[in-house]
């Protein structure tokens, strides 16, 4: 059974602007609290395109592939390869829903761990993923404030 972490915020920004900000590899380090640098394979983000994310501080570096890319609505990266990542599956995504005066942004992380990590996951991996997601959402809120 996967663990799901979601955080939401109402933003006073157009959905297309939020989507563009979150899918721009050059700007990922501005909002993703675990990312120091991000590079893309190819010309532009799209379904099937891969990103290489270099982790900040103790965060692992990993390669993700867009399994979902709905223009101005949302996108999701699935783990393809990651050094030091304890996951058997990992999906990180977001959804942008229009609302009067802006949009609602939902950041979502869904993952599974196996083996011995499963026993300590609620105290280690889950708490860290929750903190990272909250901080990333605050970074997006600050950008569009």
pLDDT digits (tens, 9 = 90+) for 10-63: 999 999 999 999 999 999 999 999 999 999 999 999 999 999 999 988 788 999
The pLDDT tens digits for 6-19 are: 999 999 999 999 99
Q: Where are the beta strands (DSSP E) in the chain?
A: 3-11, 35-40, 50-55, 62-70, 74-82, 87-99, 102-113
DSSP 41: S
Architecture of the domain delimited by 3-143: 2-Layer Sandwich (3.30)
- Strand ranges across the sheet with 3-11: 3-11, 102-113, 87-99, 74-82, 62-70, 50-55, 35-40
CA distance 89 to 78: 8
Domain boundaries, the chain: 3-143
């Amino acid at each position: 059974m996967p663990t799901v972490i979601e955080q939401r915020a109402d933003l006073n920004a157009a959905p297309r602007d939020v989507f563009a900000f979150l899918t721009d590899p050059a700007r990922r380090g501005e909002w993703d609290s675990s990312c120091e640098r991000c590079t893309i394979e190819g010309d532009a983000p799209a379904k099937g395109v891969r990103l290489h994310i270099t982790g900040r501080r103790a965060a692992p570096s990993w390669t993700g592939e867009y399994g979902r890319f709905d223009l101005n609505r949302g996108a999701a990266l699935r783990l393809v390869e990651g050094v030091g990542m304890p996951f058997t599956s990992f999906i990180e995504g977001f959804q942008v829903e229009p609302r009067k005066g802006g949009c609602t942004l939902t950041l979502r992380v869904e993952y599974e761990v196996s083996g011995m990590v499963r026993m300590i996951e609620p105290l280690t991996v889950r708490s860290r993923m929750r903190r990272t997601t909250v901080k990333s959402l605050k970074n997006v809120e600050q950008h569009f404030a």
